[in-house]
Amino acid sequence: MTDNRDSLDFRTEPVGRLFRRMFLPTLIGMVSMVILNITDGAFVGHGVGSDALAAVNIVAPLFLIMAGIGLMFGIGSSVVASIHMSKGNQHAADINLTQGILASLITGTIVGSLVFTFQEETCRLFGCSDLLLPQACSYLRWIAVLMPFNLFGMTAMFMVRLDGSPRFAMAMNCCVAMLNIILDYIFIYPMQMGLEGAAIATATAFTLGDIPIAIYLLRHTNTVHLYPIKLTRTSLILTLRNIVYQIKIGFSALLGELAIASVIIVGNYIFMRYLGEDGVAAYSVGCYCLPIVFMIGNAIVQSVQPIISFAYGVNDTTRLEKARSIALRTAILSGIIGMLFMAFGSDTISGIFLRTDCNAYQLCREGLLYYSPAFLFIAVNIVLIGYMQSIEATRPATVFTLMRGFMLSIPCFILLPLCAGIPGLWLAQPTAEAMTLAIILTTRKIY
């Protein structure tokens, strides 16, 4: 494991080189998860059917909730730790990282237990129809079991990268993705376990992937280390105070995922209302592709965050501006590539997930063209909000996150179909993201 460790000097190493050394392994790891996401959807769509794909989209908000909690504690603890490290207080950095991982594990256990207990109610809340309910519940229960393990892995990855081992984090993501794909094939095709087999494959892969991460944190860290939490009254009060501050910093990341989760839930309801189960299946393809831009955006944020937070901690405005500029240019380029791929590859993308002889395929290939601009606007918004988080500008980050989700996306989903018909269903999210970006650029000094 130690062979994967990089020596990262956040104080003096050129920002561009430092960003590349962080970003490339993180991006490769994220791309492996994108491939996992797409392959998983392809296996479900072709191996089980379009209704199963729609059922997965009903459960999809739960994945976003998990991601939001993991990012909240990961970003929160990592930002605080980076600032402490910039001031030479390694002890405080270690304590905050340990508290963040512990908090995410406890939160995942509580939320996962509640979802497992109220499976049917959760599916109904997410917009599930009677037809899709059995498959949705069979998928949901295993994802609920997965939650604490997934949250541990997500939060711990921030600590691994901050320790100077982005290549190890990349390797773990790639291994989990490969294992999940192999298990997907085995459980769905030879073993004929249907949608539940896909859920078991995901739960198994992520759980096994936590083992080497835990070993690394316990035995192989170099700069940062897990710190034993004391159980005295004073220590617990200080721990709670630190966790609350981490939540404050990372809360906009959770809100961002909750906002997208709410958009998917509302989208499920609206697509079901206008186009039925086939419409939800078509919409699910867009939702399967959406994590591509989210993961790339998050890769940029996770790579540049230690650089920005360290520069912010020592008040180095030159490095701060350089890191921000690199992150934005990377986001714009990635967003344009994703938008063009989605717009001109709609036939191919639809065929990956859906059989070409079903109605959902036709609905999907027509809708993705309208949906494609979301890739550009989402990528830029994620990076801008991530920058605000990295410099402890929690209030504007929270406001803009609420804006791109609850405040703009939901009204767009309700109103645009009334004005533009079926294309309005697909234009809702790109419109909300574009409006949010316009407001950020006109109200915040980016350069």
For residues 319 and 385, what is the distance between their CA atoms, to the nearest angstrom? 18
How many whole angstroms separate alpha carbon 155 and alpha carbon 146? 14
| pLDDT on residue 2 | 42
For 248-270, the pLDDT digits (tens) are 888 877 877 787 788 888 888 89
Using the predicted structure, report yes or no on whether residue 1 has a pLDDT greater than 60.
no
C-beta of residue 148 within 8 angstroms of C-beta of residue 110? no
Q: How far apart are CA 394 and CA 152, in angstroms?
A: 24
pLDDT band at residue 7 using 50, 70 and 90 as cut-offs: low
pLDDT greater than 80 at residue 234? yes
Q: Which of 252, 224, 255 is nearest to 99 (CA)?
A: 224
Structure confidence at residue 130 as a pLDDT band (50, 70, 90): confident
Q: How far, in whole angstroms, is CA 335 from its chain's centroid?
A: 16
The mean predicted confidence, pLDDT, of the chain is 86
- Tell me the C-alpha distance between 297 and 290, whole Å: 11
In tens, the pLDDT along 366-402 reads 999 999 999 999 999 989 988 887 887 778 888 888 8
Helices in 87-193 by DSSP H: which ranges? 90-117, 119-125, 133-162, 166-188
Phi, then psi, of 11 in degrees rounded to 5? -90, -40
The residue among 299 and 116 whose pLDDT is bigger is 116
Please state, for a pLDDT cut of 90, what percent of the chain lies above it.
29
Q: What is the residue type of 323?
A: A
Which H helix or E strand runs over 8? none
Question: Is the pLDDT at 166 greater than 90, yes or no?
Answer: no
The confidence score (pLDDT) of residue 6 equals 52
For the chain, the maximum distance between any two Cα atoms, rounded to a whole number of angstroms, is: 65
> Whole-model pTM?
0.73
Give the per-residue pLDDT at 101: 94
Residue 4 has pLDDT above 60, yes or no: no
Highest-scoring range by mean pLDDT, 207-216, 294-303, 314-323? 207-216
Residue 273 confidence (pLDDT) above 80? yes
Per-residue confidence band for 111, with pLDDT thresholds at 50, 70 and 90: very high
pLDDT of residue 416: 94
What does 40-65 look like in DSSP terms, one character per residue? HHHHHHHHT-HHHHHHHHHHHHHHHH
CB contact at 8 A, 284 and 42: no
HEC per residue, 417-443:
HHHHCHHHHHHHHHHHHHHHHHHHHHH
At 447 the pLDDT is 45
CB atoms within 10 A of CB 257: 24
pLDDT at 446: 53
User: Helix, strand or coil for residue 220?
Assistant: coil
Separation of alpha carbons 354 and 367, rounded Å? 14
User: In terms of pLDDT, which residue wins out, 186 or 61?
Assistant: 186
C-alpha separations of 436 from 7, 296, 300, 407 in Å: 38, 19, 19, 10
The answer to whether 202 touches 139, Cβ cutoff 8 Å, is no
The number of CA neighbours under 13 Å toward the Cβ of 402 is 7
**Residue owning tokens 């995410």:** 104
Number of Cβ within a 10 Å radius of residue 165? 27
d(CA 446, CA 208): 42
> Are 26 and 302 a contacting pair, CB within 8 Å?
yes
Mark residue 9 as left, alpha or beta (left: phi above 0; alpha: psi -120 to 50; beta: remaining). Answer: beta
* Distance of alpha carbon 353 from alpha carbon 280, whole angstroms: 13
| pLDDT on residue 100 | 93
DSSP for residue 383:
H
- Percentage of residues of the chain with pLDDT beyond 70: 96
Which amino acid, 285?
V
